[in-house]
Amino acid sequence: MHRAVYNLAIPNMLNCPLRSGSSLTAALRTSFLVLGFVVGVWAADWNSPEQQLARKVAAVTGPGAVALTVENRSSLGRRETEVISNGLRAALEAAGLRFVKPEQAAATVAISLSENSSSYVWVAEIRQGANEVAVVMVSASRPEGLPVSHESVPLSLRKIPLWVQEERILDVAVLEENPAPEQIAVLDAEKIAIYRLQGGKWQQQQASSITHARPWPRDLRGRLVPAKDHLLDVYLPGVFCRSSAGTTLALTCHESDDPWPLVVGSLSGGGANFPSFGAVGGSPLTITSMRGFFAPTRNFFTGALTPGVGKFTTVAKYYSAAFVPRDKYVLWLFASVDGQVHMVDGVSDVAARLRWGSDLTSVRTSCGAGWQVIATTAGDPDGDAVRAFEFPDRDPVAVSAPVDLAGRITALWTEGKGDSAIAVARSRETGNYEAFRLAIACNQ
């Protein structure tokens, strides 16, 4: 396929006679040499992956009328996206497909231009009548010198400050908001404190101590889970606390090896139905209220699960977990203690090195595919950043720019409503612990 990449000539410039020895001629020669170099660096030949994806799509649909959409969910800029979109349309037409409106189409083809840590990944979701969704994909290497642009990253990950203190923050729960948080509960090693926003400042209303017979592990972790018939449940290593049902905050704590919830609040409720990623006709999928056992003297989960993921009731020891709903199953992601992410679908357990940190969690939003995984980056000596990802298949696709937490992250939990997360980081400047809400916004 022939495709030109050029700049338009300046009007009337080519009609101006030039003397071969003029300085302008030399300048233009230099300009054309520079232009040729720039085009060589920035222009990429996408013909091969365009042809590959077109053949795979046509093998599913056959020749005929289709409704086509192409969406850029990668770091490619607008110009490259247009070039690829036009190339895909030409390749699909050559394969026998005709483009019509959705109501006239025998099939719909939704192509997403995505990427993972090493290459671009183009995914085509094909729907034909009542048939199951077919997914085909190709990968394309990143040409050297191709610029990285975030102008088309489809989502924004926003960091909203909630609370700061010297003592380690284990978790924060937003109790009231309108629409900004107005009342929060803060969990640290020795207490839960409830604060209300008054006159632009947080004022402590109540506090209740946590009783525990054994010393806490050095790298302490804990979680607050909103409840239906009382305010909060509190999970700590080897300890479980329950708040009173009245308006006065009082905790009843006891030693416990009960598992911690991995799906909380509106994402479970004992097994709630949610429209799944790519579901035919919006069919709901039940998300089981999964729980994991936390090691009472360490800072990670043992790997034992209840009720389990398919045939797996045990996985590798892990720091955190997230999940991504599919048409007929749920893909679970476990950030294991060996630095890998285990992807468990109930039938297989596949380990991958994704250059993530040890903290990840899931959120359900109205943006993009509807489900995102928020994960920390790895290896930055100055501190941690978080980023939103989606999983069109088994390779994560970055759908937001990274957000710097200005320190080392110590906690990352999904909030009770399921559409945002709480992150805690220790500031690299002050040493204080800072809690943030992480919320995803759809870019327009």
Cα distance between residue 385 and residue 331, in whole Å: 24
pLDDT for 42 beyond 70 = no
DSSP state of 238: T
pLDDT for 258 beyond 50 = yes
83-86 long-range Cβ contacts below 8 angstroms, 24+ apart? 83/3, 83/5, 83/46, 84/46, 84/50, 84/113
- CATH assignment, 155-442: 2.130.10
| Domain segments of the chain as ranges | 47-141, 155-442
- Spatial neighbors of 226 by CB under 8 A, at least 6 apart, are 173, 175, 232, 264, 265, 416
Report residue 306's pLDDT band, with 50, 70 and 90 as the boundaries.
very high
Nearest 10 degrees: Cα torsion 163, 167, 173, 176 = -50
Averaged pLDDT for residues 290-306 = 97
Q: Which of 10-14, 279-283, 303-307 has the highest mean predicted lDDT (pLDDT)?
A: 303-307
pLDDT digits (tens, 9 = 90+) for 219-252: 999 999 998 889 999 999 999 999 988 788 999 9
Which of 325, 326, 328, 301 is CA-nearest to residue 315?
Answer: 301
Which DSSP string do the residues of 385-412 spell out, in sequence order? EEEEEE-SSSS-EE-S--EE-SEEEEEE
What's phi and psi for 95, nearest 5 deg?
-85, 0
| Structure token digits, residue 98 | 């005709």
Residue 17 pLDDT? 41
pLDDT for 280 beyond 60 = no
Average pLDDT, the chain: 83
- CATH assignment, 47-141: 3.30.2300
Alpha helix positions (H), 124-267: none
Cα distance between residue 419 and residue 366, in whole Å: 9
Residue 143 pLDDT? 61
pLDDT digits (tens, 9 = 90+) for 125-145: 899 987 778 888 898 877 655
